[in-house]
Amino acid sequence: MAQRFFFDLSDGRTVLLDTEGVLAASLNEAIVEALEALREMRSNAQLDELDDNWKLSIRDENGNIRKTFSIW
């Protein structure tokens, strides 16, 4: 059964919450989606202004952080 996962960005002070999320069959599928989203954001220069303190966290429907990545 698919679950909704959210991809939030944070630098430890500021948090940009994903309010839409994506449906994925598993955490592994959500990780693939998150990495693809980061790749697209890098290629579109959407992350150029962010320093290396920023992280992307995958949050489940219950608000639990399931995985965190450095965006660089």
pLDDT tens digits, 12-63? 899 999 999 999 999 999 999 999 988 888 888 887 887 778 999 999 999 9
**pLDDT band at 6; cut points 50, 70, 90:** very high
Residue 16 is part of which domain span? 3-70
CB-based contact 60:18 (threshold 8 Å): no
Question: Which one-letter DSSP state was computed for residue 71?
Answer: -
Judged on CB neighbours under 10 Å (0-12, 13-18, 19+), 10 is middle
Tell me how many domains the chain contains.
1
- Cα–Cα distance between 51 and 11 in angstroms, integer? 8
pLDDT for res 32: 97
